């Protein structure tokens, strides 16, 4: 039986990725990849582990952004308080949505999450006094971080803010990896394969899936809070269902067979989005073609491409060539 890599090893790899990212690309793009990497990891928990294809994650992403933005604009609370409140707010909304949505499966679950996403979107659109409506919630500040013994860290500095986003990314990556291999993760994986058999063994599939839904919602809220601080505005588009589709596309592009899949998918999505928008104004057409090619020829996403290269040039391939 193959042993799973330790959480420390996987965390070390995530740290290495976070260190290498700003060395390979502009700092703002690297920061956005870290943020959407967290968002994609939350979606991966639902899709790949729990088997719940949610098209409503943007609602929790947006709630987290609005909560943190409102806190940073109207109060003097520290940065960590805004992130915690964003996670709590998104988690509570996810609890309310999940209590109804997780009672259904398949296409019905997808449509319920989509419907709730639309409801929350139009609530944000019409609640202009709090969310800014179609103009978005602007003027969001980046509170400094005070660390005893080290002084105050200026988060308005792009490098410092990237470090904050990278720390959250590594924490989310390590936490989700540990959760996936915990008893809860095993129950979710079993329920994804056969919910009735899992329930017959005495496990509450509904409670496990609801808990996963709430955790994914809270993590999405933290990603939304970081996104709002990155651009100092929470745009109404960030809460639209299309952003939910973005998170799903990131998971599919990267691959659902590994926890590294959504991270790779987020990096590819953000980078290609910028590249295509430079070469052609109608870049969504090019991006659509790219997604079609991935679905047709790389059903396992970018992770499958890496596996193909490893099988082609790895040690076993050399052994076969020698024999």
pLDDT score for 1:
41
CA angle 272, 291, 172 (to 5 degrees): 65
193 and 89 Cβ atoms separated by less than 8 Å: no
Domain locations along the chain: 7-283
**How crowded is residue 308: how many other Cβ atoms within 10 Å of its Cβ?**
12
Q: What are 10's two structure tokens?
A: 């996987």
124 and 234 Cβ atoms separated by less than 8 Å: no
13 compared with 312, residue with greater pLDDT: 13
Residue pLDDT, tens place only, 59-102: 999 999 999 999 999 988 999 999 999 999 999 999 999 999 99
Using CA atoms, how far apart are residues 93 and 213, in angstroms rounded to an integer?
10
Question: What average pLDDT does the chain have?
Answer: 88
Q: What are 61's two structure tokens?
A: 């992403």
Using CA atoms, how far apart are residues 52 and 244, in angstroms rounded to an integer?
13
**Mean pLDDT, residues 113-138 taken together:** 92
Using CA atoms, how far apart are residues 171 and 59, in angstroms rounded to an integer?
22
What is the model's pTM?
Answer: 0.90
Residue pLDDT, tens place only, 143-161: 988 877 777 888 989 999 9
Architecture of domain 7-283: Orthogonal Bundle (1.10)
**Mean pLDDT, residues 173-185 taken together:** 93
């Amino acid at each position: 039986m193959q042993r799973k890599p330790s959480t420390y090893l996987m965390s070390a790899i995530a740290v290495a990725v976070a260190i290498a990212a700003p060395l390979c690309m502009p700092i703002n793009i690297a920061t956005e990849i870290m943020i959407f990497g967290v968002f994609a990891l939350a979606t991966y928990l639902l899709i790949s582990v729990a088997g719940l294809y949610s098209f409503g994650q943007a609602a929790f992403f947006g709630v987290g952004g609005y909560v943190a933005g409102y806190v940073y604009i109207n109060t003097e609370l520290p940065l960590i308080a805004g992130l915690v409140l964003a996670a709590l707010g998104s988690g509570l909304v996810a609890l309310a949505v999940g209590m109804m949505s997780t009672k259904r499966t398949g296409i019905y679950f997808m449509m319920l999450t989509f419907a709730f996403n639309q409801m929350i979107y139009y609530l944000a659109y019409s609640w202009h006094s709090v969310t800014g409506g179609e103009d978005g919630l602007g003027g969001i500040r980046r509170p400094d971080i005070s660390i005893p013994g080290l002084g105050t860290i200026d988060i308005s500095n792009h490098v410092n803010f990237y470090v904050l986003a990278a720390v959250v990314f590594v924490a989310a990556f390590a936490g989700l990896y540990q959760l996936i291999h915990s008893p809860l993760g095993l129950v979710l994986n079993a329920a994804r394969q056969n919910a009735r058999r899992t329930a017959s063994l005495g496990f509450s599939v509904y409670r496990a899936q609801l808990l996963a839904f709430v955790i994914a919602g809270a993590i999405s809220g933290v990603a939304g809070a970081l996104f709002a601080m990155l651009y100092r505005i929470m745009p109404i588009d960030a809460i639209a269902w299309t952003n939910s589709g973005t998170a799903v596309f990131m998971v599919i592009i990267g691959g659902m067979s590994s926890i590294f899949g959504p991270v790779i998918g987020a990096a590819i999505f953000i980078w290609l989005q910028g590249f295509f928008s430079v070469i052609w104004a109608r870049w969504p057409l090019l991006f659509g073609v790219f997604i079609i090619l991935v679905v047709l020829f790389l059903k396992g996403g970018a992770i499958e491409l890496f596996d193909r290269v490893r099988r082609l040039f790895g040690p076993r391939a050399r052994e076969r060539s020698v024999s």
